[in-house]
Homo-oligomer: A and B are copies of this chain.
Amino acid sequence: MSKFETLVDMRNGTQQKSVFYDRDIYELELERIFARCWLFLTHESAIPNFGDFVTTKMGEDEVIVARQKDGSIKAFINSCQHRGTQVCPAEAGNAKGFVCSYHGWSYGIDGKLENMPFEKELYKCKVDKSKHGLVQARVESYHGFVYGCFDDDAPSLEDYLGEMKWYLDVWMDATGGVELIGPPSRSILNCNWKTPTENFAGDAYHVGWTHAAGLKVMPGPLSVLSGNAVLPPTGAGLQVTTRHGHGVGILYDAGPALMSDMIEEIFAWQARKKPVIEKKLGALRARFYGSHLNSSIFPNNSFLWGTNTFKMWAPRGPGQIEAFTWAIVEKDMPADLKEGITRVMHRTFGTAGMFEADDSDNMETMTHVNRGFVTRKGKMNSQMGLGGDRVDPDLPGVVGDSAIGETSYRGYYRFYQEILNAKTWDDVRANNADWFVPLLGEQTAEEARKAAAA
């Protein structure tokens, strides 16, 4: 058994601290996670027209994401098939294609190799151009959110998102659709890529303490939480984790609580739209619309619905990430509401954000204390609510009945270990029936199975 197979104790909700530090683990993550999972690329609204493109990262691979003539979207690696040079240094634009700055090989907007200068005169051995296009990734969209995947064997994006779709649909779809306001802010954080992801997936616990100062000075319905003065009451929220490690936490009715001078305007907007959503989805899910959702899509994509921030955490070695931040707005909002949300979102969760910076020290130190040999031999704990997780007929995924708990941590790391262990996606698929057992324990799982059978 390799030393990588026991990084996570799925049943007891603990993880080796070395997962934030060890370079060998990181290399395995690149291979088994980032080269195999669906990774966020862009929102379709950033590349509406034929020839529009953005460049971004898939793990540490640089990719171009481009709108095709037929309206589809392709993604391909930003490295020339000749000697490897980057073919596009811009972050975004509209192009007919990409010309390599070294020898001028040119690629179409679909990444296919179109021209090699003086090909006829100089290439005696015919180079098969059809085999020298830029390396393609699979691309699929969900409600305009575009993801890419390097593994042909991976499930479809929809299957990969799985139970999460039921929660995403509320704001991505039932609202009439959303879009991301770019360009993203981009900044370094000296932390492991999993530290913000686990936090967004399932950490309502830190809000009152980490963000004590921000909560205190930004007046709003959550100010009372500052310094853990009070606990959200029972029934205030919910946590969910899913098949492929995605997690979501819900704080009911708290939607735009951190949106500062935009709170009232947003509440008013939501109040007007809520009836429409309720008609579409029923009361249970419509309540999510006005709630605050924190969430991560495995492996490195997070969002806050309510605070309207959308994040991608690109890894740069085990101890550093690049954070990408966009604002989420509803498509049918008036321009000044979109602008206001964007302005306030950056003020709270952007690079100069009053809440964002509170988190930095935590994430950086929890990464770098593990330089210590004895330190990194220790374990991390995510046992809050352990034993209380369950399957609910009305709520997809495994559910924790509390606004605050670590259900999503456990679910995130369960899948993390599963996919690290898997030689191929078939190994993952083999667990489809019983994936939740380690989270629930045999007994609860048995009940869950029975309930499902019934």
Q: Residues of A with Cβ closer than 8 Å to B? A: 17, 20, 30-31, 34-35, 58-62, 77-86, 89, 101-104, 117-118, 121-125, 127, 132, 135, 150, 195, 198, 203, 205-206, 208-210, 228, 231, 361-362, 365-366, 369-375, 378, 380-388, 402, 404-405
Contact = CB atoms under 8 A, between A and B. Distances in A.
Contact of A387 (B125, B372, B373, B384): B125
Contacts of A150: 374
The quantity of this chain's copies bound in the complex is 3
A127 B381 contact: yes
A375 B150 CA distance: 11
B79 A122 contact: no
A209 B102 contact: yes
Interface of A, secondary structure class, is loop
A62 B369 contact: yes
B121 A209 contact: no
B210 A103 contact: yes
A381 B79 CA distance: 12
Contact of A34 (B77, B135, B373, B386): B373
Given A61-B371, A86-B369, 20 more contacts: A35-B373, A35-B374, A61-B375, A79-B366, A80-B366, A85-B365, A101-B361, A102-B366, A103-B205, A117-B208, A117-B209, A121-B231, A122-B205, A123-B384, A124-B384, A124-B387, A125-B388, A127-B383, A132-B381, A135-B374
Contact of A378 (B62, B79, B124, B384): B79
Contacts of A60: 371-373
Contacts of A82: 380-381
A228 B84 contact: no
Contacts of A78: 369
B62 A373 contact: no
B385 A77 contact: no
Given A82-B380, A378-B135, A59 B373 contact: yes
B31 A101 contact: no
Q: 6 nearest interchain CB pairs?
A: A61-B372, A86-B365, A104-B209, A125-B386, A84-B366, A30-B373
Nearest to A104: B209
Nearest to A371: B60
A287 to B, nearest CB: 22
A59 B127 contact: no
A128 to B, nearest CB: 10
Contact of A361 (B80, B89, B117, B386): B89
A385 B124 contact: yes
A212 B384 CA distance: 63
Contacts of A203: 103
7 contacts: A17-B79, A20-B84, A61-B372, A83-B195, A103-B209, A103-B210, A122-B405
